Structure 1
Amino acid sequence: MPNRCPGGRGRRGLARTSVIAVMLVGLAGLGLTAGPRQGTSVLEEYRRAAQAAGKKDYRLAVEHFSRALAGAPTHPGLMAELARAQALAGDREAALARLAAALTLGSGLDVVDDPAMATALTGDAAAGVREAAALLRAPVTSSDEAFRLAQRDLIPEGIAYDPSGRSFFVGSIYRRKIVRIDPGGRVSDFVAEARDGLMAVLGMKVDSARGALWVATEGTVNMRGGTAADVGRAALRQYDLRSGRLVKELELRPDPGPHLFNDVVVDRQGQVFVTDSEDGSVWRLRHGSGRLERLAGPRALDYPNGLALSSDERRLFVAHLAGISVFNVATGHASALPHPGSMTLTDIDGLYREGHRLVAVQNGLTPARIAVFDMTPDEDRVVAMRVLERGHPLFASIPTTGAVADGWFYYIANAQLRAFGPNNDILPMEKLQQPVILRTRLASEGR
């Protein structure tokens, strides 16, 4: 789901998603050298900075934003927020330099458009910032519509593809169900609303070899019938791919802290990995086991989100607030995924490996984008980046996750995670959109 802070998938009330809210709905990845967290977390420093800014103590906000950025050196959202605080604290020169750096990395239009920044962005000194903003506003287009769903109040967050049946599965946060789209485009309920106590559906993956659909779920006040008592619950479910029958459920309840199963991936041996965004953990379910065990955590990462396995399945790429960490599956040892400082791996919601590259939905950037990160043949570092889609009109309603199928990347373009009012009630139907799944062709590697 969007991160929880400077970035994209979050919960407690999905209405928390916005730039600070898509910074609060999911700080998904803050890259460069940041690995598993140590000391005061980036998220905690961000929260302190936001609190200080809310009290108009901009100098204190600058202090905390600077500390947060030290743990996430290429996070453009943090850069832009720091720039805003610097400008409001009277340090225009530093603010312009910081904002220009954020825009170069691909984010910060929300700060540029803030009326409070109008004075700082006038005159010759701000010409570079205005030029960088103009370049970033130019859309990048490569996607077309694959299909759309008629039910406007699904609030879909997860999508999975079954190559054996050539079908897609889309999960619903609000309606607490999973729909199947067959090769002919026909839509049907794979798991009916709240059947067997199904909660809000987030990440999903198909294990074709074993005929299973694995589903990450969470309790939230934004699911139909959800109450405060549901918040903090998380469950990993296995469904029979043909019948939709519930085969297995493993649930965690607050103990004492909350849980939020966010995304899931399955290896060729049937081993399942799932991120727990609230607990800061990555959980593993060994094939044939009935017990979840931690690969990392608790509180090893700030808001772990999307994840993908390496080609040899010995390593696990995990997007989180401070970047992408790479875990050794055998030992649990983790390190940051190196990348050039000229790009950002932050704000990633959905994360997928295709060949020796990672495909990412960076929904916390402003503007949001779909990007491909090319890695070395050993998949030990990122060496290049390409934007596949940016500035699509539907992205205003938040793209979230996707699935690779037959050389295409299919993704939810408008999850509508902000479609809830202050009391967590869903907006009227006439204010909602039909969920749209876009697709973009993944070029051959090296192109």
Structure 2
Amino acid sequence: MSRLTTAPLLAAMALSLGFVAGIAKAEPSEILLPEVHPFPESMTSTEDGTLYVSSFSNGGVLRVKPGGKPEVWIEPGTFDTRSTLGVLADEERGVLWVCSSDVSGIGVKGPNDIKGSYLKVFDLETGRGEVSYKLPSEISVCNDIAIGPDGAAYITNVASPEILKLDEDAGELKVWLTDDALKGGLDGLAFGEDGNLYVNTYNAGELFRVDVEDGEAKGFEKLDTGPLTKPDGMRPIEGGFVTVQGGGELSRISVDGDDVTIEEIGSFKEPTGVTVAGDTIWVAEGQLDYLSEEKKDQPRPDFHLRAVPLQ
């Protein structure tokens, strides 16, 4: 082959190899979290693929830009935060919602001694703390957040059978739904395509649908899902949701009226959080069992975010 024919071929090969390498760099299958941000609890993402991750033990919020390295974006203790649980990026408002709670009752001190549980609001560009809303009940742990069709923020209280709704005009969180049937540890929540709210219980392994009309709860129903093992974070996708279970499963939940189908699509190490970024599902391996009395003296494991394609 002449130099005139080989040069374009080599250039095309170089472009092709560079393109493939670029994709591999931009979409790693896993991300190792730094030692200063262990025990991830929840995660969220923005349209450009940036990830935000909380820390159950140390607090603060980690940020990972596409193709970049993990960085502590909100330092532990910032804006009077303690242990950080649920996080949710709200690009329409330009804010990051963060659940901050005192979980010292189960032996997790966090970065300071601030009591109570709060829903915190941070500027999504600067990371500056803007507003803080205290949960009204004495026994409260703000766990996770969802934005409803009405634009309001809804949160679960994992320590009491309460779903709360933010009244921004009044500047306070109000109990939106409470019932003893929800005592199983309210955790992940997300709104479905039908406009209703779906919420799971971590301890009892249940899934409920709350019928919503004009922003008000009009009753709820426990759905027949079969056994769930410590269901945690949950995010909406077309036709239903993706959720992680502390037993290891990443599951797709398909909902058609009262019919629910759950399909395992991945297995991880004690996952706690999940988010969907484009056509990729990211899972946070919280491994919170290592905070228990039985394992607290064992060597601390590595903590990862891991990715699988959304099919």
Which of the five TM-score ranges fits, normalised by the shorter chain? 0.7 to 0.9
TM-score after normalising by structure 1: 0.57
Q: Structure 1 residue 226: deviation in Å?
A: 5.2
Q: Give yes or no for contact 1:325–1:334 (8 Å, CA) kept in 2.
A: no
Q: Give yes or no for contact 1:408–1:439 (8 Å, CA) kept in 2.
A: yes
**Could you list the runs of 5+ residues in structure 2 that have no partner in the other structure?**
1-27
Corresponding residue of 1:373? 253
Q: What is the correspondence of 1:254-269 to structure 2 with a 5 Å cutoff? A: 255=138, 258-267=139-148, 269=150
Q: Give yes or no for contact 2:77–2:112 (8 Å, CA) kept in 1.
A: no
Q: What is the correspondence of 1:39-438 to structure 2 with a 5 Å cutoff? A: 145-151=29-35, 154-163=38-47, 165-221=48-104, 222-225=108-111, 230=115, 233-252=116-135, 255=138, 258-267=139-148, 269-297=150-178, 299=180, 301-302=182-183, 303-312=185-194, 314-320=195-201, 321=204, 323-330=206-213, 331-339=216-224, 343-345=226-228, 347-363=230-246, 365=247, 368-376=248-256, 380-390=257-267, 392=268, 395=269, 398-413=270-285, 415-420=286-291, 422=293, 431-438=299-306
Q: Structure 1 residue 337: deviation in Å?
A: 4.9
**1:238-279 CA deviation, whole Å, 9 max, x = no partner?**
110001011110113663xx1011111113553100000112
Change in Cα spacing, 1:240 to 1:300, as seen in structure 2 (3 Å) is farther
CA distance in 1, matches of 2:70, 2:239: 33
Q: Give yes or no for contact 1:173–1:223 (8 Å, CA) kept in 2.
A: no
Q: Give yes or no for contact 1:153–1:432 (8 Å, CA) kept in 2.
A: no
Q: Match for 1:438: what amino acid?
A: R
Give the structure with the larger helix fraction: 1
**1:378-427 CA deviation, whole Å, 9 max, x = no partner?**
xx23343321123x4xx1xx2101101112211112x1313336499x65
CA distance in 2, matches of 1:191, 1:361: 25
Q: Give yes or no for contact 1:238–1:246 (8 Å, CA) kept in 2.
A: yes
**1:81-132 CA deviation, whole Å, 9 max, x = no partner?**
xxxxxxxxxxxxxxxxxxxxxxxxxxxxxxxxxxxxxxxxxxxxxxxxxxxx
Change in Cα spacing, 1:301 to 1:339, as seen in structure 2 (3 Å) is closer
CA distance in 1, matches of 2:78, 2:222: 40
CA distance in 2, matches of 1:359, 1:337: 18
Change in Cα spacing, 1:154 to 1:309, as seen in structure 2 (3 Å) is same
CA distance in 2, matches of 1:325, 1:145: 32
**Could you list the runs of 5+ residues in structure 1 that have no partner in the other structure?**
1-143
Tell me, what secondary structure is at the counterpart of 2:238? coil
Q: Which has the higher contact order (CA 8 A, sep 6+)?
A: 1
TM-score after normalising by structure 2: 0.80
Change in Cα spacing, 1:153 to 1:416, as seen in structure 2 (3 Å) is farther
Change in Cα spacing, 1:179 to 1:383, as seen in structure 2 (3 Å) is closer
Q: Structure 1 residue 153: deviation in Å?
A: 5.3
Change in Cα spacing, 1:434 to 1:333, as seen in structure 2 (3 Å) is same
Q: Structure 1 residue 329: deviation in Å?
A: 2.9
**1:20-78 CA deviation, whole Å, 9 max, x = no partner?**
xxxxxxxxxxxxxxxxxxxxxxxxxxxxxxxxxxxxxxxxxxxxxxxxxxxxxxxxxxx
The structure 1 segments of at least 4 consecutive aligned residues displaced by more than 6 Å after TM superposition are: none
Change in Cα spacing, 1:316 to 1:383, as seen in structure 2 (3 Å) is closer
CA distance in 2, matches of 1:440, 1:382: 26
Q: Give yes or no for contact 1:205–1:213 (8 Å, CA) kept in 2.
A: yes
Q: Structure 1 residue 354: deviation in Å?
A: 0.4
Q: Match for 1:369: what amino acid?
A: E
Q: Give yes or no for contact 1:309–1:317 (8 Å, CA) kept in 2.
A: yes
**Count of residue correspondences:** 276
Q: Structure 1 residue 174: deviation in Å?
A: 1.8
